[in-house]
Structure 1
Amino acid sequence: MITRYSFFSALTLFIAVSAFADEHPSHLPRIVVTATQSERDAFLVPQAVSTITPEFIDNSLESMTPDLFRFTPGVYIQKTNQGGGSPFIRGLTGKQVLILVDGVRLNNSFYRFGPHQYLNTIDPHIIERIETVRGPSSVLYGTDALGGAINIITRKRTDFSKSLGYDGLLSAHFESASEAGVFRGQMEGNWNRLGIIAGATGKRYDDLDGGGSSGKQIPSAYDEADADIKLNYRLNEDEELVFAAQYTRQFDVPKTSEVTLGDKLKFNYAPQERRFGYLEYRANRLGIFDGVRLNISYNNQREGEEIIGERTPGIETRELTDVDTIGFTLQLKNRVLDSHVLTYGAEYYHDDYQTRMKRRDRTTGSKRTLSPGTPDGATYESWAVYLQDEAHLLDTLDGVFGIRYNRYEAAGEVADQTLGFETDAVAGNLNLAYRLTPNLNLVGGLAFGFRAPNMEDFFGRVDFFNEIPNTSLQPEESFSKEIGLKYRSQALSAEVFYFHTDYEGFIDRATVGRQPDGTPIKQRRNINDAEIQGVEAGTEFWLNPQWRFGASLTWTEGRDARTKAPLRRIPPLYGSARLVYYPADRVWIEGSVWWADDQDQLAAGDIEDPRIGPDGTPGYTAFGLKAGYTPHPRHELLVGLENLSDKQYKAHGSGIFAPGLNVLATYRFRF
């Protein structure tokens, strides 16, 4: 009854508030690019799109990127450790959700099964805004975008009013629950038409103090160093060159649940590194084209695992996987007959693997080489072509139609035998927006999505089972239907979406035999079909010039298509609300609440997962309070209290409790 009451009460509030006529401050159009690769008012985009704004990021008091999603409808963050944060969108996570940086793929073919930590390798200090497309986005972005796509859009110089200008920033941040210290130095400026932003960040986190009786969660401490630079050169009013480079290294990040809930004495990601860069040419008009984007990118993800088990405390296993990804993207636009915008292009990505695995006797120091989870020297590549049409069909009807073809090839040597595999996939979408009134849009769509098998799927992993390769895997496929309402007036914006998605060929481990000692032999196979449905709602309301209210609500249900049993790790009903007060131009105060219902609809894998267990995950309600004051344009102070009641809670599937009563403070000095 709690679930139904909460759900229908929130929807009733949404409908009542949406019908309110007002004369309050104007809602400025929120421009997004990720959904269609064109700059469009989010209200007019015929898809479910969420935006985390620059103001929210600046005032968030969050030092980790995953925590910025707390108030985003349709995005649920699971944390295996303090250094993690895996986004769930429409019931999916890990390699079934695509992460982009400035429209460039961050995902590579190494992403493992289930939740992962890679979103947390992006420093929030470099982020301008975040756009999330909920639902399959395979036409524009290819594999992994089954649940949706998250585009991290980074800052760049926009002020060219002076021929020579510069700005600087020094900031310090503190969090009491982890005794964290975060320090940032940044320079920004321009010389004529060349803009630059460059900075460095240092982070230090102690073991996290959870709420209630959980106490210090050991081990969860780690350190991090970040550096970044972004150059943008304006060739003219329509053309720009952009160069960006980012580096992140996290030191000795514990996978907390493997120690506190599992059978490991030590499980550290050491190191966890990300090197990322691109060179991009952009033109709003070039010859016969109404838009050109040419991007060359480099992405290196280097991940080490250091493991000591309880059964063999004298043995330490170390595995290192180094993946280099080179990417090329060409995208073109043409306006046709004043009613169509064609976006089309081609992509190519190539992954190279350097891997090694060793087992060290901690007593004697002797080492033995083992076969790594992915073969050393393996390669994985993809190429694609796609076409999208943004069509103005009637005065009150717009549509977006698209199709994509992708080809995937990989090769690697296993037991002195070279194995290769090939597969391809096709995606398509049809989305419509119908203007019911000037303030209300009815939107809906159909979309075919896919996730191509990656290296872990084909070759298996040695972390959990003895696995054998499967070179005949096929892509996971989805067919999604959604319908929604978008409302916007001077003071209010609101949306509600219902979606239903059918999935075929989910890849999972299957037992295909046993070794002489009885150890099961596993192989990845396309063995599961599923259906996931849900409702996502969000609203933002200016009560008057001093008060702003925002809220979100998300419900998701996932079932096995054959047995109707619950799917693994499906988030519970959850939501949030924020009330912001602006008593003066340079002061703001915010109160917030975030909550989740119990999740006791469990798959067999959930019951066996020590992070969840047979009783599921209890619901919770947590409160926060924060404020900001800018006494001078050069000085800014933000303070906050998180989890005011010191509630012991964690997101469903998490391996670590959320912070208890947490004092946060940030000071910024601009020069």
Structure 2
Amino acid sequence: MRTALFILFLLIFTGAFAQEVVIVDQDTQEPIPDVAIFNIDKTKTALTAKNGSVDLSIFSKNEKIILKHIGYQTKKTTKNLLLKRGKTIYMVLTAEELDGVVMSVSKWEQQKKDIPQKVASITTKAISFTNPQTAADVLQNSGKIFVQKSQLGGGSPMIRGFATNRLLISVDGVRMNNAIFRGGNLQNVISIDPFSIQNTEVIFGPGSVIYGSDAIGGVLNFYTKKPKHSKTEEAFITGNATYRFSSANTENTIHADVNYGKQNWAFLTSISYTNFDDLKMGNNGPDSYVRNNYVTTINGVDQLVENSSPNKQVGSGYNQINAMQKIAFKPNDNWNYDLGLYFSETSDYGRYDRLIRPTSDGDGLRSAEWYYGPQEWFMAKIGLQHQGKGRFYDRLKINTAYQHFGESRNDRNFGSTTLSSTKENVHALSTNIDLENKRIGDLRLYYGVEYVFNKVNSNGFETNIENNQVTNAASRYPDGATWQTTAGYINSEYKAQPNLTLLSGLRYSHVWINAEFDKTFYPFPFDDANLNTGALTGSIGLSWFPKENLQITFNGSTGFRAPNIDDVGKIFDSEPGSVVVPNPDLEAEYAYNVDLGIQKNFNDKVIVNATGFYTYLVDALVRRDFTFNGETEIEYHGELSNVQAIQNAAKAYVHGVEFGVDAYFTEHLSLSSNLTFTKGIEEEEDGTESPGRHVAPTFGDVHLIWKNDKLKTDLFFNFNGEVSYNDLSDSEKSKDYIYASDKNGNPYSPNWQTINFNASYQITNNIKATLGWENITNQRYRTYSSGIVAPGTNLISSISYQF
């Protein structure tokens, strides 16, 4: 009898336990508390707990029930169907709640609907689904940002006609731009591990009020994952392990992260390793893109050999390791302390656009070697946050960081025994104090101060490859040069009416440069370069809802970029047929921008948005013809080269329109599309006009997405417009070897289109598989201004285990 009662009790207990489910956000996988669950006549109700769990035993097996939560799509089903789907139930955000909160505009959380600037958000789930190889691919996959690649180990974003040191990159609120960020294409963004990113926010247009110098075309904010504390006395332990393979470059990637959290302490460790082989291009496209030959050195002799696989871009492969350690301490609800350690290092990697440069007669290749040494990045960041009734604030953030950047350039001409190298190390210190004040009725104030100090160490040397003898040579930059800035800002958000929000801000920045030139190798006509200048920038904008489903935004803002060490003191950096020399007489450049946006929501079924913008850049820092000791041409590395320098020698006008459409046909089927159109010109002091170098072609995408609780698929179409010969800048025309030839034999960038497919499937609650098929029709194409040719047909597969 006792045994029978025990068995009966066990069956009842396990039956009740089996009826407990956990409700989570489909994109973030975070539990959703306070989800209301009720039957049709509302005689039975239940509510999820803080951990998202709820017991469904009060409902009968086939009883119709409703799941409802503010901001999420209402779900109608039966208990039986819910239990068949497993213990985890997914809910989807409503269209108007997607990307509802952003941090980038003020460094504090703000409702996206109140912000007049265009801000694009990329979530960790979007990153996981698209399986990007680098952080540059994270941006490119969004469909809103154009990315140029000189080599496989690269990625230089272009936003609204601006790029490189006219865009600001920030990681967890710390400025990554340093004193040697150049006007040429940059690859520093690949130092950020895609697996560590929680979300990415991109501000389109000037962001100098909050971020200072360089934030002219936009700001790219990367927020990495945070340690999670336990909600109970028990430790909260989660982790993830992922393996990924890509066929186009035989990529092998492994990643692991683990979170250990107690109520007061939390630790997060993340590590990734990737190995890329040489990239294979597609079969269908311009024949001029193929790699017919390459240089190899046999017994100390350079030889031009035939490439047995012309679609294989020999010399493009490399590997990379990323690691991150975070520690968070939360003594109570008002104080938070955190420590973050970030590390990234690549192997040597070839600068592919230089490796394919032909000789003047076209019969060979100019370089036997041209590669970057390991790209190194280390950051240590200490932060604290206080929330409470301070005298001058409601919330306070202080972040202090140290960064080290290491890079080198190594090149050797075909047949030469001399390998020329320069090596740079930048040490960067920064402190930011940011405050939020919400006490003045409908007015919120954000204000703060910033200090940044950079020191550049640079040296040059030459190596005889026959006997390995090393001799000193000219450095790329003045060794020991410093760049520093201090600034203060105030930004305000005023809720004038429930449907009208006004934002405005001011910032004053002061910049100093101190550089001394070594005349050992070159007879410079100056001893040093000193800059002492200030810049005042501002912004004003509004977000207005004349109707509940219609939003109109307007924003006017200014941005600036102060000269850095790369502008002022770059020592003999070669470009094809030219050599760049220092110019200590430079001033800051300024941008004046206006943009107007409109967004219409049609019954949460279709959301259409468009933003038009116009930017005027004055005193533009551009590379132009120059003289060195009165000479317009000098011999450099055995070649007679045209002398150029960075100068305040131009104006620029950029305008364009950005479109977006999101359509939700059913609970499972949706469509998303983006289109960006940009035009820009540079005007010389004599009135001569030429196309802007970093003005991207028209580009966009169309995605058809189907998903349910376990499966998500995305069939999408990417396209880029043509850049004709007449629309190429003069500097691009000189690089005809990376472009196709038009009917007149002139270089141009052809239009291209690709068809692609992504899918992910939640095999179990712990295991997820993803599959991608890129460039299904195997197109051979180069994105505008890129040296590397894009991948041909590429199969990407990954498997992840989460606990």
Same fold at TM > 0.5: yes
Q: Which amino acid aligns with 2:452?
A: Y
Q: Is the 8 A contact 2:572 2:582 kept in 1?
A: no
1: CA distance between counterparts of 2:561 and 2:592? 12
2: CA distance between counterparts of 1:463 and 1:324? 22
Provide the residue aligned with 1:585 in structure 2.
709
Q: Is the 8 A contact 2:572 2:581 kept in 1?
A: no
- Residue 375 of structure 2 aligns to a residue whose secondary structure is strand
1:354 and 2:454 matched: no
Q: Is the 8 A contact 1:435 1:441 kept in 2?
A: yes
Provide the residue aligned with 2:137 in structure 1.
67
Provide the residue aligned with 1:209 in structure 2.
280
- Residue 565 of structure 1 aligns to a residue whose secondary structure is strand
Deviation of 1:313 after TM superposition, in Å, equals 2.3
Deviation of 1:468 after TM superposition, in Å, equals 4.2
2: CA distance between counterparts of 1:629 and 1:119? 29
Q: Which runs of 5+ in 1 are unaligned?
A: 1-21
Match of 2:322 among 226, 233, 253: 226
Show CA shifts across 1:534-567 (max 9, x none).
0011232222111121110000000124334311
2: CA distance between counterparts of 1:612 and 1:507? 26
Deviation of 1:467 after TM superposition, in Å, equals 4.5
Provide the residue aligned with 2:539 in structure 1.
429
Show CA shifts across 1:9-65 (max 9, x none).
xxxxxxxxxxxxx99972225210102223122222111110111220121121211
* Stretch deviating more after TM superposition (521-530 or 446-455): 521-530
Question: Percent identity among equivalent residues?
Answer: 23
Provide the residue aligned with 1:623 in structure 2.
755
1: CA distance between counterparts of 2:334 and 2:547? 35
1: CA distance between counterparts of 2:728 and 2:74? 47
Match of 2:488 among 381, 385, 400: 385
Provide the residue aligned with 1:648 in structure 2.
780
Provide the residue aligned with 2:406 in structure 1.
302
Provide the residue aligned with 1:511 in structure 2.
626
2: CA distance between counterparts of 1:280 and 1:299? 15
- Residue 433 of structure 1 aligns to a residue whose secondary structure is strand
1:560 and 2:682 matched: yes
For the aligned residue pairs, the C-alpha RMSD in angstroms reads: 1.9
Provide the residue aligned with 2:84 in structure 1.
none
Match of 1:146 among 216, 226, 229: 216
Alignment map for 1:172-183 (pairs within 5 Å)? 172-183=243-254
Deviation of 1:524 after TM superposition, in Å, equals 1.9
Q: Is the 8 A contact 1:98 1:149 kept in 2?
A: yes
Q: Which amino acid aligns with 1:609?
A: K
- Residue 139 of structure 1 aligns to a residue whose secondary structure is helix
Q: Is the 8 A contact 2:529 2:569 kept in 1?
A: no
2: CA distance between counterparts of 1:643 and 1:662? 7
Q: Which amino acid aligns with 1:329?
A: N
Match of 2:530 among 414, 420, 429: 420
2: CA distance between counterparts of 1:507 and 1:37? 29
2: CA distance between counterparts of 1:324 and 1:622? 42
2: CA distance between counterparts of 1:534 and 1:340? 33
Q: Which amino acid aligns with 2:403?
A: N
Q: Which amino acid aligns with 2:616?
A: D
Inter-CA distance 551–376: structure 2 relative to 1 (3 Å threshold): same
Show CA shifts across 1:153-203 (max 9, x none).
101133522331211221100000000100012111202222221021111
Provide the residue aligned with 1:245 in structure 2.
341
Provide the residue aligned with 2:719 in structure 1.
595
Match of 2:594 among 459, 478, 481: 481
* Stretch deviating more after TM superposition (331-340 or 428-437): 331-340
Inter-CA distance 89–519: structure 2 relative to 1 (3 Å threshold): closer
Q: Which amino acid aligns with 1:598?
A: E
1:98 and 2:168 matched: yes
Q: Which amino acid aligns with 1:606?
A: E
2: CA distance between counterparts of 1:499 and 1:451? 19
Show CA shifts across 1:93-125 (max 9, x none).
100111110121011111112211111111101
Match of 2:793 among 655, 661, 668: 661
Show CA shifts across 1:642-665 (max 9, x none).
100000112100001111000100
- Residue 626 of structure 2 aligns to a residue whose secondary structure is strand
Match of 2:159 among 70, 80, 89: 89
Provide the residue aligned with 1:17 in structure 2.
none
* Stretch deviating more after TM superposition (620-629 or 605-614): 605-614
1:446 and 2:578 matched: no
1: CA distance between counterparts of 2:719 and 2:565? 37
Q: Which amino acid aligns with 1:535?
A: V
* Stretch deviating more after TM superposition (559-568 or 42-51): 559-568
Inter-CA distance 304–468: structure 2 relative to 1 (3 Å threshold): closer
2: CA distance between counterparts of 1:624 and 1:297? 41
Q: Is the 8 A contact 1:43 1:486 kept in 2?
A: no
Inter-CA distance 23–193: structure 2 relative to 1 (3 Å threshold): closer
Higher relative contact order (CA 8 A, sep 6+): 1
2: CA distance between counterparts of 1:529 and 1:418? 27
* Stretch deviating more after TM superposition (620-629 or 71-80): 71-80
Show CA shifts across 1:285-309 (max 9, x none).
3422112110101111100112112
2: CA distance between counterparts of 1:82 and 1:160? 41
2: CA distance between counterparts of 1:586 and 1:54? 17
Match of 2:356 among 234, 244, 260: 260
Computing the radius of gyration from Cα coordinates, the structure with the larger value is 2
Inter-CA distance 630–608: structure 2 relative to 1 (3 Å threshold): same
TM-score (norm 1): 0.93
- Residue 70 of structure 1 aligns to a residue whose secondary structure is helix
Provide the residue aligned with 1:314 in structure 2.
417
2: CA distance between counterparts of 1:457 and 1:522? 12
2: CA distance between counterparts of 1:199 and 1:43? 34
2: CA distance between counterparts of 1:542 and 1:643? 26
Show CA shifts across 1:592-637 (max 9, x none).
1110111111122221123347331111110111211112112111
1:457 and 2:604 matched: no
1: CA distance between counterparts of 2:643 and 2:793? 46
Provide the residue aligned with 1:121 in structure 2.
191
Q: Is the 8 A contact 2:371 2:410 kept in 1?
A: yes
Deviation of 1:519 after TM superposition, in Å, equals 4.8
Q: Is the 8 A contact 1:569 1:652 kept in 2?
A: no
- Residue 436 of structure 1 aligns to a residue whose secondary structure is strand
Provide the residue aligned with 1:136 in structure 2.
206
Deviation of 1:345 after TM superposition, in Å, equals 1.0
Paired residues, number: 648
Match of 2:663 among 530, 541, 548: 541
Deviation of 1:466 after TM superposition, in Å, equals 4.9
Inter-CA distance 191–483: structure 2 relative to 1 (3 Å threshold): same
Show CA shifts across 1:436-492 (max 9, x none).
211211101111110111101111232215544333311111100110112345344
Q: Is the 8 A contact 1:71 1:576 kept in 2?
A: no
2: CA distance between counterparts of 1:496 and 1:134? 13
1: CA distance between counterparts of 2:626 and 2:258? 55
* Stretch deviating more after TM superposition (454-463 or 200-209): 454-463
- Residue 271 of structure 1 aligns to a residue whose secondary structure is coil
Deviation of 1:74 after TM superposition, in Å, equals 3.8
Inter-CA distance 632–212: structure 2 relative to 1 (3 Å threshold): same
1: CA distance between counterparts of 2:634 and 2:409? 29
Q: Which amino acid aligns with 1:122?
A: I
Q: Which amino acid aligns with 2:716?
A: S
Provide the residue aligned with 1:570 in structure 2.
695
Q: Is the 8 A contact 1:71 1:577 kept in 2?
A: no
1: CA distance between counterparts of 2:439 and 2:412? 62
1:46 and 2:170 matched: no
Q: Which runs of 5+ in 2 are unaligned?
A: 1-72, 76-91, 285-289, 291-310, 359-365, 520-526, 741-745
